[in-house]
Amino acid sequence: MAKAFAKPICLSDQETHYCPGCTHGVIHRLVAEAIDDLEIAGRTVGIAPVGCAVICYNYFTFDFQEAAHGRAPAMATGIKRVRPDLIVFTYQGDGDLASIGMGEIVHAANRGEKFTTVFVNNAVYGMTGGQMAPTTMPNQKTTTSPFGRNVEEVGMPIRVAELLASLATPAYITRQTVLSPKHILKAKKAIRQAFQYQVDNRCFSFVEVVSTCPTNWGMTPADAIQWAEKTMLPYYPLGDLKTPESVEEA
């Protein structure tokens, strides 16, 4: 009987360190499927962030570098500039990318660096234990906003995809989620498209993935999905914000 479904070739057999209900595993798989599909593992270098995904290289079988907090886009720039033949992606969380690494991602995107960023937005710092992130929702309780995010004091959550899409340099900027199978299929297509743009040497490509963090949200995985659908998706709308084609047409 033909095998209809298998583990991607470039995913390892490593046991997961992620919490029950965490969506990182799904997103890792989507990245691995895209790399398998495009047959690029032999020329791919991934860059791990600081945060829950700091040891994400344990789950992939190709070359990897480990960045400092927020600096992955600068490292990816260094690699792509000296080895444009390599396929490079950064995998970053919202504390890493939207807070300490905001400068690096904005400038890399604006230079049109031809690498891919997978940005996992779960509205909280995970690894350090659930502190407030730039993406934390208004009134959302975290360990450093115990009374809920007070937007009078710390402002509104940052919509990174919209911010990057406002840059004039051509890019592929999209927001997806993995909250349901239907969403996962769309996210898979977007991540593959992002790598395809890189393979074609077209542009910087950025996929934000709205995700959950049941542990730090203090919810069951099922409740976390519901909360994300109800609270995050209205504020972080899904879909393509920019494609290189849309820039060319304009």
Partner 1 sequence: MSKVLMKGNEAIGEAAIRAGCLNYFAYPITPQSEVAEYLSRRMTEVGGVFLQGESEVAVSYMIFGAAACGERVFTTSSSPGISLMSEGISYICGAECPAVFVNIMRGGPGLGGILPSQADYLQATKGIGHGDCRMLVMAPASVQEAVEMVMQAFPLAEKYRNPVMILGDGLIGQMMEPVSFRDDLKVPPTNKDDWATSGMDTRKSTKRNLVKSLYLDPEVLNAHNLKLKAKYDRMRQEEVRYETYNTGGDYRVLIVSYGTMSRVCRSAVDALKARNVETAMVRPQVLFPFPEQAVFDAAAKSSCTHVLSVEMSMGQMVEDIQRSVQGRRPVHWYGKCGGEVPTPEEVMEAVEALLQS
36 CB-near residues (< 8 Å, 6+ apart): 8, 9, 10
Contact call for residues 207 and 174 (beta carbons, < 8 A): yes
Q: Which stretch binds partner 1 (CB under 8 A): 21-29, 69-77, 143-151, 200-208?
A: 69-77
Q: Which stretch binds partner 1 (CB under 8 A): 78-86, 150-158, 161-169, 213-221?
A: 78-86
- Read off the tokens for 212: 């959950």
34 CB-near residues (< 8 Å, 6+ apart): 188, 191, 192, 194, 195
Which of 18, 62, 227, 235 touches partner 1 (CB under 8 A)? 62
Q: Output DSSP code: residue 242.
A: E
Contact call for residues 243 and 193 (beta carbons, < 8 A): no
Which of 19, 26, 38, 41 touches partner 1 (CB under 8 A)? 41
Contact call for residues 116 and 202 (beta carbons, < 8 A): no
Q: Which stretch binds partner 1 (CB under 8 A): 19-27, 43-51, 143-151, 213-221?
A: 43-51
Task: Closer to partner 1 by CB, 105 or 178: give it.
Answer: 105
Give me the 80-109 binding string for partner 1, x by CB under 8 A, dash otherwise. -xxx-xx----------------xx--x--
Contact call for residues 24 and 127 (beta carbons, < 8 A): no
Report how far apart, in Å, the C-alpha atoms of 6 and of each of 3, 29, 59, 163, 230 are: 7, 11, 15, 37, 33
Q: Which stretch binds partner 1 (CB under 8 A): 73-81, 120-128, 156-164, 233-241?
A: 73-81
Closest Cα to residue 21, out of 180, 176, 179, 213? 213
| Minimum CB distance to partner 1, residue 80 (Å) | 8
Which of 68, 151, 156, 185 touches partner 1 (CB under 8 A)? 68
Which of 43, 141, 189, 202 touches partner 1 (CB under 8 A)? 43
For residue 54, state whether it binds partner 1 (rule: CB under 8 A).
Answer: yes
Binding footprint of partner 1 on the chain (CB under 8 A): 41-45, 47-48, 54-55, 57, 61-68, 71, 74-79, 81-83, 85-86, 103-104, 107
